[in-house]
């Protein structure tokens, strides 16, 4: 039996996956290839991460990427840069109130094409 591959119907996800793979090849940045692989999976298997989890596992001024959605349960008490596919309004507000930044994965990719000093949180 052959493995069935489904095409992504959301054009944002499809173009993001292609951009991530291209940047990974250009800059020899395996982190972007890993994120692209996670986004190729079905949407129901995307990461959903609460702010309490991020606050526990991330230090001050660290840059992280979430291949999915960041939810607003919990608090953040230090500034950090979070790149994610999507944010809830509560999460966006709490991160910016703590002095941090909320970026889409596309913006994070443009800011740091080599993927250095970025951690994946899931």
CB 55 within 8 A of CB 76: yes
pLDDT string in tens for the chain (122-residue length)? 556 566 889 999 999 999 999 999 999 999 999 999 999 999 999 999 999 999 999 999 999 999 999 999 999 999 999 999 999 999 999 999 999 999 999 999 999 999 999 999 99
Long-range contacts of the stretch 54-57 (C-beta < 8 A, 24+): 54/80, 54/82, 54/121, 57/121
Q: What is the pLDDT of residue 7?
A: 82
| pTM of the shown model | 0.90
Q: Which fold has domain 11-120?
A: Ribosomal Protein L15; Chain: K; domain 2 (3.100.10)
Q: What is the pLDDT of residue 5?
A: 62
| Integer angstrom CA distances of residue 109 from 21, 24, 53, 58, 119 | 11, 10, 23, 20, 13
Q: What is the pLDDT of residue 57?
A: 96
Q: Could you tell me the residue ranges of all domains in the chain?
A: 11-120
Distance of CA 60 to the CA centre of its chain: 18
Q: Which residue has the tokens 């982190």?
A: 31
Residue 84, CA atoms < 13 Å, CB-side half-sphere:
25
């Amino acid at each position: 039996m052959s493995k069935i591959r489904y095409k992504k119907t959301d054009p944002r996800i499809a173009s993001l996956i292609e951009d991530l793979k291209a940047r990974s090849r250009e800059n020899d940045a395996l982190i972007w290839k890993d994120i692209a692989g996670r986004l190729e999976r079905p949407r129901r298997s995307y990461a959903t991460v609460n702010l309490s989890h991020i606050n526990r596992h991330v230090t001050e001024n660290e840059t992280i990427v979430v291949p999915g959605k960041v939810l607003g349960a919990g608090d953040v008490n230090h500034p950090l840069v979070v790149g994610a596919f999507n944010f809830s309004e509560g999460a966006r507000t709490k991160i910016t109130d703590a002095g941090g930044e909320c970026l889409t994965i596309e913006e994070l990719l443009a800011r740091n094409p080599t993927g250095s000093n970025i951690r994946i949180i899931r």
